[in-house]
C-alpha cells in the first residue's frame, strides 16, 4: 500500500466516525424536538435549509450516497478485469487441485519404495542369510515390499507426516486467516503455496537420487507444508475471497464451485499423473509438474487476480486489531506484538470468533455458530478419516485392485461434482426465497437449514449403506448416495459467514481451518485405529462408528435457528458509548479457552498414540 492509499483510507475512517457522530446527534435532536413540540404535530424535516425551524435536528439526515456499500458492491464501477470475481480464482485453483490429486499416489509409492529399501538394507545387516532383492524405483515389480513389516512402517511414517503437518497447520491457519482480513486475500493465497513448493523440492530430491536419500527428510517437507497452512488455508482463503465478492444468498453456490473444482481435480489428477508416468517412465516428472503448477498459481494470483478486500476495509481491520492490542496495557508498549502473542499463545484462542460476546451478539448467535462449526468439523473429519479406510476395506472384502478402486472413485467423485456444480446452483436459483431488499446479512434462512439437513442425511444414509453392503455394486451405490452429501460443506461454510461482520470473515474461516486441521489429525488416527483393531472380528465396525458420527451431526442440525445474526448496528452504538473498564466479557471466554485447549490437545495426543500403536 502506498502513502496516497493510506491517506485516503485514513480520511475514509474519519468520515465514518463523523457519520456516526452525525447519526447520534440527529437522534438526540429528534428527541429534543419531540419534547419541545409538547404533542403538536409538525411536518417532518427533510434535511433542506428552507424547511428548517427551531424543532429541526442540529445536523441533516444521512444521505443515501454516504451509506457504506457491501463489499460485493464496492468494485461495481470498475472494468471487468479489475473487478474481483471467483472466476479469477477458480481456474488456477482447479489446476492446483489436479496437481494435489495427482501427486498423492506417486508420493505414496515413492515413500513405500524408500522405506522398503531401508528395511531390506537393515534386514541384510542383521541377518547374513538374508538375500536382498533390489527395489525398482519409479515403477516395476516390487513384490518383496508387500510384506506386513514394510506396510506397517509405511503406515507409521505417513501417520507421523500427517500428524506434523496437521498440527502445524492448526497453529498457522487461524493466524493467516486473520492476517488476510488486515492485508488482503492475495498475499495469503500466494504464501500458502510457498511451503508446498519447498516440500516438493525435497520430494524431487528423493525421486532423483532415491538410493542415497534419507527417507526421514520427507518429514521436513510435511512440516514446511503445514507451516504455510497446506491446502486447508488455500481453501479457507479462497472461500474468504468468494465471501468478499458474492452476496450472502449466492455464497453456497460460490463455495460449491470451489469444492467442485477440488473433487474434480482429485478425480482427474491421478488419471493424468498415471498417464504421465506411463509415457515418461519417470515418477519424478509428476513432482516437477506439481511445483510448476504452484508457481503458475502464485504468478496468476499476484499479477492477474484483483484483490477482493478494499484498502478501506483492510485499514479498518488493522485499526480494530490495534485497538485490541492496546487493551493489553503497558505490555503492549514495551514488547513487540509477536513476542506478546508468543508469551500468551493459546492454540484454541482463535476459536473465540465462534463465541462472540457483548453488544450485537446473543445466545442464539453463539449457539448457531457453535453448532455450524461442529457439524462442519464432523463432516470434514469423517471424510478425512474414511478416505483410506474405504479403499483398504474394499480391497479386503471384494478383492478390488487399482482398476476397481479407480472406477469406484471416479463414480463417487462424478456424483459429488454433479451435486456441487449442477444440482446446488439449480436449487439455489429456483428454490431459494428472494433475498432481502436491504442486502444485509440476516443469518441462515430456511433454505440453508433444510439443505444442510438434507445433505447430512444423505451422508448418514451412504455410510449405513457401506455397513450393510456385501457386494461391490451395492458398495459403489452407497458411495454415490454419500456423495450427494457433498453439498453440505459449502452450505455450512456460507452459513457461518452470515453470522459475523464482514471484517471478520477471514478470522472466522481461519478458525474453521484450525478445526479442520485438528480433524485432519484426530479423525484418521482414531478411525484407522478402530479399523485395525476390529478388522479380524467385525470389519464393518468402523462404518458403524462413522455412520453414528454422521447421525450425531444430523441431530445437531435440528437445534439451528433461522434469521440469527450479529447486529453490527448495536455493536457500533455500544462502541461509541463509555465502556466500563472493570468488565470485559471476552476475558471470560479467553480464560476458559486454555482449559478447553488442554482437553482437546490431550484427546488429540491420546488419539494419535492409539492410531500409531495400532499401525505398529
Instruction: Give the pLDDT confidence of 219-243 residue by residue, as tens digits.
Output: 999 999 888 887 778 888 888 898 8
Element (H, E) at 211: none
Residues 509, 71: Cα–Cα separation, whole Å? 17
pLDDT tens sequence across 71-83: 667 888 888 888 9
Residues 504, 321: Cα–Cα separation, whole Å? 11
Residues 97, 269: Cα–Cα separation, whole Å? 8
Of 276 and 7, the one with more pLDDT:
276
Residues 232, 489: Cα–Cα separation, whole Å? 13
Residues 180, 192: Cα–Cα separation, whole Å? 12
CA 294 to chain centre: 19
Q: How far is CA 481 from CA 411, 469, 565, in A?
A: 11, 13, 33
pLDDT score of 500 more than 90: no
Please give the full DSSP string across 227-250, using - where no structure is assigned: HTTHHHHHHHHHHHHHHHTS-GGG
Q: What pLDDT shows up at residue 549?
A: 92
Q: What pLDDT shows up at residue 63?
A: 53
Q: Which residues of 309-335 are buried (b: 16+ CB within 10 A; e: fewer)?
A: bbbbbbbbbeebbeeeeeeeeeeeeee
Residue with the three cell numbers 488429540:
604
Q: What pLDDT shows up at residue 175?
A: 84
Q: Identify whether the C-beta of residue 500 lies closer than 8 Å to the C-beta of residue 565.
A: no
* Grid coordinates given for 294: 504452484
Residues 355, 363: Cα–Cα separation, whole Å? 9
Please name which of 243, 178, 187 lies closest in space to residue 506, comparing C-alpha atoms.
Answer: 178
Directed axis angle between helix 505-534 and helix 148-183, to 10°?
170
Q: What pLDDT shows up at residue 533?
A: 79
* Grid coordinates given for 608: 494419535
* Grid coordinates given for 143: 513384490
pLDDT tens sequence across 572-616: 666 666 554 333 344 333 434 443 444 444 444 444 444 444 444
Residue 336 banded pLDDT, cuts 50, 70, 90:
low
Residues 285, 276: Cα–Cα separation, whole Å? 8
Q: What pLDDT shows up at residue 591?
A: 39
Enumerate residues 6+ apart whose C-beta is below 8 A from 477: 465, 469
Q: What pLDDT shows up at residue 374?
A: 92
pLDDT score of 474 more than 90: yes
The 3-state DSSP composition of the chain as helix, strand, coil percent (nearest 5) reads: 75, 0, 25
pLDDT score of 33 more than 80: no
* Grid coordinates given for 152: 506397517
What mean pLDDT do residues 494-523 have?
82
**How buried is residue 511: exposed, middle or buried, by Cβ count under 10 Å (0-12/13-18/19+)?**
buried
CA 529 to chain centre: 26
What mean pLDDT do residues 423-451 have?
79
Q: Identify whether the C-beta of residue 500 lies closer than 8 Å to the C-beta of residue 212.
A: no
Please give the full DSSP string across 155-198, using - where no structure is assigned: HHHHHHHHHHHHHHHHHHHHHHHHHHHHH-HHHHHHHHHHHHHH
Of 47 and 222, the one with more pLDDT:
222
pLDDT tens sequence across 383-408: 877 877 887 788 778 877 666 777 78
Q: What pLDDT shows up at residue 345?
A: 56
Q: Identify whether the C-beta of residue 365 lies closer than 8 Å to the C-beta of residue 565.
A: yes
Residues 150, 169: Cα–Cα separation, whole Å? 28
Residues 158, 107: Cα–Cα separation, whole Å? 10
Q: Identify whether the C-beta of residue 25 lies closer than 8 Å to the C-beta of residue 59.
A: yes
Question: If you ran DSSP here, which 8-state letter would residue 46 be given?
Answer: -
Q: Among 133-147, 193-207, 273-287, 593-607, where is mean pLDDT lowest?
A: 593-607
Q: Identify whether the C-beta of residue 285 lies closer than 8 Å to the C-beta of residue 276.
A: yes
Element (H, E) at 393: helix 363-398
Q: What pLDDT shows up at residue 580?
A: 46
Amino acid at each position: 500500500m502506498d502513502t496516497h492509499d493510506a491517506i485516503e483510507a485514513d480520511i475514509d475512517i474519519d468520515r465514518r466516525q463523523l457519520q456516526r457522530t452525525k447519526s447520534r446527534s440527529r437522534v438526540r435532536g429528534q428527541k429534543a424536538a419531540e419534547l419541545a413540540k409538547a404533542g403538536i404535530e409538525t411536518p417532518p424535516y427533510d434535511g433542506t435549509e428552507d424547511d428548517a425551524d427551531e424543532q429541526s435536528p442540529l445536523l441533516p439526515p444521512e444521505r443515501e450516497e454516504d451509506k457504506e456499500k457491501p463489499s460485493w458492491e464496492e468494485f461495481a464501477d470498475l472494468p471487468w478485469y479489475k473487478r474481483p470475481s471467483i472466476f479469477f480464482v477458480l481456474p488456477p485453483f482447479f489446476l492446483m487441485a489436479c496437481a494435489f490429486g495427482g501427486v498423492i499416489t506417486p508420493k505414496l509409492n515413492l515413500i513405500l519404495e524408500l522405506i522398503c529399501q531401508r528395511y531390506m538394507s537393515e534386514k541384510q545387516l542383521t541377518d547374513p542369510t538374508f538375500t536382498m532383492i533390489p527395489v525398482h524405483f519409479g515403477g516395476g515389480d516390487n513384490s518383496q515390499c508387500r510384506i506386513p513389516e514394510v506396510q506397517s512402517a509405511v503406515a507409521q511414517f505417513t501417520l507421523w507426516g500427517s500428524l506434523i503437518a496437521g498440527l502445524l497447520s492448526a497453529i498457522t491457519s487461524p493466524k493467516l486467516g486473520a492476517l488476510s482480513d488486515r492485508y488482503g486475500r492475495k498475499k495469503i493465497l500466494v504464501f500458502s503455496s510457498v511451503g508446498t513448493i519447498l516440500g516438493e523440492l525435497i520430494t524431487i530430491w528423493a525421486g532423483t537420487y532415491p538410493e542415497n536419500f534419507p527417507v526421514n527428510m520427507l518429514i521436513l517437507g510435511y512440516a514446511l507444508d503445514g507451516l504455510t497452512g497446506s491446502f486447508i488455508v488455500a481453501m479457507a482463503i479462497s472461500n474468504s475471497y468468494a465471501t468478499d465478492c458474492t452476496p450472502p444468498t449466492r455464497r453456497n453456490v460460490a463455495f460449491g464451485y470451489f469444492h467442485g473444482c477440488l473433487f474434480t481435480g482429485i478425480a482427474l489428477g491421478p488419471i493424468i499423473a498415471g498417464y504421465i508416468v506411463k509415457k515418461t517412465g519417470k515418477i519424478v516428472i509428476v513432482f516437477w509438474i506439481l511445483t510448476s503448477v504452484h508457481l503458475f498459481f502464485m504468478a496468476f494470483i499476484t499479477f492477474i487476480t484483483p484483490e477482493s478486500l478494499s484498502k478501506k476495509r483492510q485499514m479498518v481491520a488493522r485499526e480494530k486489531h490495534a485497538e485490541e492490542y492496546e487493551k493489553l496495557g503497558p505490555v503492549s508498549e514495551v514488547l513487540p506484538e509477536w513476542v506478546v502473542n508468543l508469551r500468551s499463545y493459546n492454540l484454541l484462542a482463535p476459536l473465540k470468533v465462534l463465541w462472540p460476546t457483548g453488544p450485537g451478539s446473543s445466545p442464539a448467535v453463539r449457539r448457531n455458530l457453535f453448532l455450524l462449526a461442529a457439524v462442519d468439523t464432523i463432516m470434514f473429519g469423517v471424510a478425512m478419516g474414511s478416505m483410506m479406510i474405504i479403499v483398504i476395506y474394499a480391497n479386503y472384502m471384494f478383492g478390488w485392485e487399482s482398476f476397481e478402486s479407480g472406477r469406484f472413485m471416479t463414480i463417487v467423485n462424478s456424483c459429488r461434482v454433479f451435486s456441487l456444480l449442477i444440482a446446488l446452483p439449480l436449487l439455489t436459483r429456483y428454490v431459494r426465497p428472494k433475498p432481502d431488499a436491504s442486502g444485509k446479512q440476516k443469518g441462515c434462512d430456511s433454505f440453508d437449514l433444510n439443505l444442510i439437513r438434507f445433505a447430512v442425511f444423505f451422508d448418514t444414509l451412504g455410510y449405513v449403506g457401506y455397513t450393510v453392503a456385501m457386494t461391490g455394486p451395492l458398495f459403489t451405490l452407497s458411495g454415490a448416495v454419500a456423495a450427494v452429501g457433498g453439498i453440505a460443506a459449502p452450505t455450512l461454510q456460507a452459513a457461518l459467514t452470515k453470522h459475523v461482520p464482514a471484517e471478520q470473515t477471514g478470522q472466522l474461516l481461519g478458525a474453521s481451518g484450525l478445526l479442520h486441521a485438528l480433524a485432519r489429525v484426530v479423525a484418521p488416527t482414531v478411525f484407522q485405529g478402530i479399523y485395525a483393531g476390529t478388522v479380524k472380528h467385525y470389519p464393518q465396525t468402523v462404518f458403524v462408528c462413522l455412520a453414528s458420527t454422521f447421525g450425531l451431526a444430523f441431530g445437531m442440525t435440528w437445534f439451528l435457528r433461522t434469521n440469527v445474526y450479529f447486529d453490527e448496528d448495536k455493536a457500533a452504538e455500544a462502541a461509541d458509548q463509555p465502556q466500563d473498564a472493570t468488565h470485559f466479557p471476552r476475558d471470560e471466554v479467553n480464560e476458559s479457552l486454555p482449559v478447553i485447549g488442554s482437553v482437546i490437545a490431550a484427546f488429540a495426543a491420546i488419539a494419535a498414540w492409539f492410531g500409531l500403536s495400532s499401525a505398529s
